[in-house]
Amino acid sequence: MNQQSCTVLVVGAGPGGYTAAIRSGQLGLKTIVVENAKAGGTCLNIGCIPSKALIHAADLYSKVLESASEKTKFGIHSENPRIELAETIRWKDQIVHRLSSGIEGLLEKAGVQRVQGWARFIDGKTVVVETPDSGPPMEIRAEYIILATGSRPVELRDLPFGGKVISSTEALSLTSLPEKLVVVGGGYIGLELGSAYQKFGSKVTIVEATDQILPNFDAELVRPISRRLKQLGVTVLTGAMAIGMADDSKGVMIKTADNSISELPADQVVVTVGRAPVVDGWGLEELDLDRNGSAVSVDSGCRTSMSGVFAVGDLTGEPMLAHRAMAQGSLVAEIIAGKRRRWDKVAIPAVVYSDPEIVTVGLSPDQARQEGFEVIEGRFPYSASGRALTMSDTDGFIRVVARADNHLVLGIQGVGADISELSSAFTLALEMAARLEDIGETIHAHPTRSEALQEASLHALGMAIHI
């Protein structure tokens, strides 16, 4: 058996693992990263990046159709636009390939050794890697271990993957458009991919078990999304569960809140009911780590219950977001390199790339009250924004939540076109402990959609100018 040793062994090269490995390498630690699939993990290969590419293409296509239709107000005329999904998928694959190769280059530049294959622990310091070329397995011993095995789609017992029933992974690589697409689960992925496929031309139905799509976001933020889905022609069934395929596999059986059962015709069914940490097949049982549900428990330094073993990213549970995984990855590398670090982030932004987009950072008004704060709120609607009007997209608003006594900003949320790009401004405000006055007195460039942040802060102070 081929034997190797290193200071830091990272298992999984997704955003958590590759960031940990690059930072460890930069800090001069002898680092090996083992990856079974492609560098970049779920996010880059079958998650964030490919989904955003398809969402962009679908948006562009629907805008072309809209401006070519008689309803156009812009005076733009284009003849017979059409979508060739296979070409769109090829374009998306090129982006993914470029970014994945980029990560490999960055690992190399940081002096990190990459090992391709599946890692399995035989004890808390040693893994055996089965390499895909069926060469001899490799045994790697390490002083420190960083677990970054990520997550996989949850499968419904009554609607297992196979045949017409697919996960987000396959939904990101369809080469022909399903005429009727049923999306089971109206969360992040269901909304993002469901809207994209409707814009491409499928007839989409979203089936959501709770009484609201995006149940983790407050109703006020979700309202503009529901309006837009209706306008696009997406059917949304809330309080509804998919209970299996019809006997002839031509549709999905749905049970609604009043216990009635009906069949939804479907050419394809995408199940997007959450993701679960990957905890099997790599020897977790050899490590005997404390767990929180299925996730691996970590402390504020991402240490597990076993000395020298760290865990980052989706493996450690919610929120399963790439930027959280990356932040944990750097943190752990720096701790191993001897720096005094701990997880002390004020907020982790959450963005839904729906139409329009949602951003939430920090506490909502209700959450702030539940935590015992007396709060004041400010709001600014995009219907009053000059820039939003010039972009012909005025649905949505920005909301700022602050302590009533000292005006410390506790949370910023918003919904609107391209609002994802404001997530860093929102998060920076919270990390820098901004007061309403700090944002209100900062000059925001005109005309931009970001002025809504300044106006919402001024509104909370009773000083808004444009409403």
Active site residues: 446
20 touching ligand FAD, by CB under 6 A: no
Q: What angle do CA 366, 360, 319 make, to 5 degrees?
A: 100
Q: Which helix (H) or strand (E) holds 81?
A: none
289 touching ligand FAD, by CB under 6 A: no
156 touching ligand NAD, by CB under 6 A: yes
Q: Which residue has the tokens 């156009």?
A: 72
Instruction: Compute, in degrees rounded to 10, the torsion defined by CA atoms 344, 329, 168, 83.
Output: 100
Taking CB under 6 A as the criterion, which residues in 214-243 touch ligand NAD?
Answer: 215, 241-242
Q: Give the contacts of 334 (CB within 8 A, at least 6 positions apart).
A: 23, 27, 341
Give how far the C-alpha of residue 64 lies from the chain's centroid of Cα atoms, to the nearest Å: 27
- Binding partner of residue 88 among ligand NAD, ligand FAD, none, CB cut-off 5 to 8 Å per kind: none
197 touching ligand NAD, by CB under 6 A: no
Using CA atoms, how far apart are residues 121 and 287, in angstroms rounded to an integer?
8
Taking CB under 6 A as the criterion, which residues in 166-195 touch ligand NAD?
Answer: 184-190, 192
Query: Which one among 196, 296, 321, 327 touches ligand NAD, defined by CB under 6 A?
Result: 321
55 touching ligand NAD, by CB under 6 A: no
Q: How does strand 309-311 pair with strand 203-207? A: unpaired
313 touching ligand NAD, by CB under 6 A: no
248 SS3 class: coil
- Binding partner of residue 8 among ligand NAD, ligand FAD, none, CB cut-off 5 to 8 Å per kind: none
148 touching ligand FAD, by CB under 6 A: yes
Query: Which region, judged by CB under 6 A, interacts with ligand FAD, from 8-16, 137-145, 248-256, 430-438?
Result: 8-16
Q: How far is the CB of 340 from ligand FAD (least distance, A)?
A: 24
CA 428 → CA 330, 451, 460, distances in Å? 19, 16, 19
Q: Which is nearer to ligand FAD, 145 or 363 (CB)?
A: 145
Whether 213 contacts 346, CB under 8 Å: no
- Binding partner of residue 156 among ligand NAD, ligand FAD, none, CB cut-off 5 to 8 Å per kind: ligand NAD
Whether 413 contacts 221, CB under 8 Å: yes
Q: How far is the CB of 182 from ligand NAD (least distance, A)?
A: 10
Q: How does strand 31-35 pair with strand 113-116? A: parallel
Q: How far is the CB of 128 from ligand NAD (least distance, A)?
A: 30
33 touching ligand FAD, by CB under 6 A: no
Give how far the C-alpha of residue 444 lies from the chain's centroid of Cα atoms, to the nearest Å: 28
- Which x/- pattern, by CB under 6 A, does the window 321-360 give for ligand FAD? xxx-x---------------------------x-------
CA 27 → CA 7, 111, 342, distances in Å? 12, 10, 17
Q: Which is nearer to ligand FAD, 304 or 457 (CB)?
A: 304
Q: Which helix (H) or strand (E) holds 227?
A: helix 219-232
Name the packing angle between helices 48-68 and 85-109 (round to 10°).
Answer: 140
Residues within the interface to ligand NAD (CB under 6 A):
156, 184-190, 192, 207-210, 215, 241-242, 272-275, 319-321, 351-353
Residues within the interface to ligand FAD (CB under 6 A):
11-17, 34-37, 41-43, 47-48, 51, 118-119, 148-151, 168, 189, 278, 282, 313-315, 320-323, 325, 353
